[in-house]
């Protein structure tokens, strides 16, 4: 099972919007609406920010939003803030009844 493809890094200035892509195949991202996104600060456990493509858990800022088109899912962070600087990982359910993570994207706030 190959890891989902994410850009190694994305950057933006405070207040801007950025989008992180997560590309899989027709056997994972493209086949199911079971994509979730995680934010991870250095030395910390990951934190769920989006599940089932578009759903935001209680307590997560509405600046985080998710979407999907074909084999690519996306996480958008609007109104970028310094605290958003972290690593972000996507994950998807697969046709093999397993789960695969993306390689991770480092978000830098300029």
One residue of 25, 30, 51, 78 binding other proteins per CB under 8 A: 51
- Alpha-carbon distance values, 52 to 8, 11, 73 (Å): 23, 25, 11
DSSP 42: T
Q: Which two tokens stand for residue 93?
A: 């359910």
64 binds other proteins (CB under 8 A): no
Is residue 98 involved in binding other proteins (CB under 8 A)? Answer: yes
Assigned token pair, 76: 């958008």
In the shown chain, the binding pattern of residues 4 to 43 toward other proteins, with x for contact by CB under 8 A and - for none, equals ------------------------------x-x-x-----
* 48 token code pair: 């769920």
- Near other proteins by CB under 8 A: residue from 19, 25, 61, 103: 103
- Give the whole-angstrom CA distance, residue 32 versus residue 36: 11
- Which residues of this protein are in contact with other proteins, per CB under 8 A? 1, 3, 34, 36, 38, 44-48, 51-52, 57, 89, 91, 93, 96-104
């Amino acid at each position: 099972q190959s890891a989902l493809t994410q850009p190694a890094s994305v950057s933006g200035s405070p207040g801007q919007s950025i989008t992180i892509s997560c590309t899989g195949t027709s056997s994972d991202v493209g086949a199911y609406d079971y994509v979730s996104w995680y934010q991870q600060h250095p030395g910390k456990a990951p934190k769920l920010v989006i599940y089932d493509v578009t759903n935001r858990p209680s307590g997560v800022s509405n600046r985080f939003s998710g979407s999907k088109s074909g084999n690519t899912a996306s996480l958008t962070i609007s109104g970028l803030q310094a605290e958003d600087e972290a690593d972000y990982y996507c994950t998807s359910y697969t046709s093999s009844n397993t789960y695969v993570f993306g390689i991770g994207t480092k978000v830098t706030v300029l």
